[in-house]
Amino acid sequence: MALLSTYTSAVLAGVASHVAYFRTGEHHLHGVLYLKLFFIAIASGTGILFSLQGNAWRAFTAVISLTSAYLLGLYGSLLISRAFLHPLRKFPGPFAARLSSAWLTTQLKNNNLHIKLLELHNKYGPFIRVGSNDISVIHPKALEIVYGPNSRCFKGPQYDMSHPELSLQLMRDPVVHHARRRVWSGAFSEKLLRGYEQRIRGYREELVSRLSEMSESGQTINIRKWFNLYSFDVMGDLSFGNGFGSLQRGEEHWAVRLLNSFVDPIGLFLPTWAFVMLAATPGLSGDFWKFPAFCKEMMVARFKNTPEIPDVSSAFISALKGRDLSEISPEEQNLLFSDARVIVIAGSDTTSSALSAILYELVRHPEEIEKLRAEFAPHINGANRDFSHPTIAHLDHLNGVINEVLRLYPAVPSYLQRKTPPEGIVIDGVHVPGNVNIICPLYTIGRSELAYVKPDEFIPERWYSSPELIKEKAAFMPFSAGEFNCVGRPLALMNLRSTIARLVMEFDFQFARGEDGSRFLGDAKDNFVFYPGDLNMVFTRR
């Protein structure tokens, strides 16, 4: 009876610890600490019982039995609470999703979260519980409430994934983010953008040159690969004053290849605590830190060489007000290096995927190419068919094509996570509880009849001459909005417009023999950023 009472007490202690401590607050950063305390408790308990009983095995088994009883109480309480008592219990969704946020990970095939969420919303409707404390919403009015300038939501635990690393993109504290955002905003003034246009033009010429060489020799061109090389060269230049030399070599720089090797694990969308623990595990994360180390070396070198035409890093260095690296704190140094890394990552993959998607849709709709050429013709600048960005920035059909591609293939298709305020939020009369993680998957919203007429059709005119095809303007938010929106939006659009204009006027292009475009979407991955599949094309100089 005494033994039974002891086990009952252990179970009740587990229940109490869940109710009093683990049920509230955030615990994803403490996984390693909890694990250490767990093993310390087992070792200490075994040592104490051994000193009293003199039998090591009996002491160990007794401690394991009591520990198991405690965990039974803890996880039993946790699962019952999640399944039947959680504030999200009234929202539809698979029952297994109630029990763990890891459920969604188990449903993915080839990192296809964007497809899985589309299927789930088609089945369950606009509001779905997709995890123990996670809800996905595709109601078009949700975006303004969750991401807009007046939103009361803030960044969720996902942004702690590479803790303790910190950059503008990862800052969850609005006050800290706002202060750093002011530094970043200075990097995207109209004056500096004109300088960036000059810097980018050289890489665009290199891209055109390489495409011309391959077209003359009759080679099939995997356009996704070459846009990837191009975008990384551009962003390397804007970060560190020099590109990666990828276009010249025709292959990825080793550091970019290393970075890409860590993209797929992100697309598993494991719970944040799992990422944090994996990053802290010796032997599992060594290569992960090689790319940040490379970026640090490049930034140190950039610090010593002021470019003739300012790059994005110029704004970061200017904010230091003349202080050398040795004169700023370690925290300031780490922030400088981390932000430089963000420039490369955030501006390259997203641009590459958007350019690939634009060509994919243009080949499928050749009539759109002719509309673009007619629109570009009056604005050609010189014999090389290049363009000054200000002259094409407001062309209706060009912007319509870009917007339509960003609607169908958003840079961040699914998991732009926010956390609701304690009092919760109301979306079209539906109350979403407080302190829950919420996402509004743009890939699914872009294909929803709640937001668009004929959502599966590629119709650039919906953005200028046929506005009746857009049911809810606020549903289009490819660069997010509000305080946490993409600060590099002007640079991204400038590069997309100028590059597409040059390629459309320079080349005829079509699918290569045996290519039907099915791999572009069939092999696409949602690794936080949209990564399309291969797309083989044939280019012919006009």
Tell me which residue of 486, 490, 536 sits closest to 509, measured CA to CA. 536
Name beta bridge partners: 131. 134
Q: What is the C-alpha R_g of the chain?
A: 26
0.85 exceeded by pTM: yes
For residue 303, the model assigns a pLDDT of 85
Q: Whole-angstrom Cα distance, residue 341 to residue 317?
A: 14
For residue 302, the model assigns a pLDDT of 87
Rounded alpha-carbon distances, angstroms, from residue 119 to 26, 124, 367: 30, 9, 31
Tell me which residue of 73, 55, 83 sits closest to 15, measured CA to CA. 73
For residue 284, the model assigns a pLDDT of 60
Q: Whole-angstrom Cα distance, residue 132 to residue 103?
A: 9
For residue 383, the model assigns a pLDDT of 62
Per-run averaged pLDDT (10 residues), the chain, 542 residues: 75 95 94 93 92 88 93 96 97 97 95 97 98 97 95 94 84 91 89 92 95 92 96 91 90 84 87 84 65 84 87 88 87 86 84 97 97 93 77 97 98 96 97 98 97 98 98 94 90 96 95 95 95 96 90
For residue 213, the model assigns a pLDDT of 94
Tell me which residue of 388, 377, 383, 367 sits closest to 497, measured CA to CA. 388
For residue 245, the model assigns a pLDDT of 92
Q: Quote the crossing angle between the two packed helices 489-506 and 396-408, to the nearest 10°.
A: 110
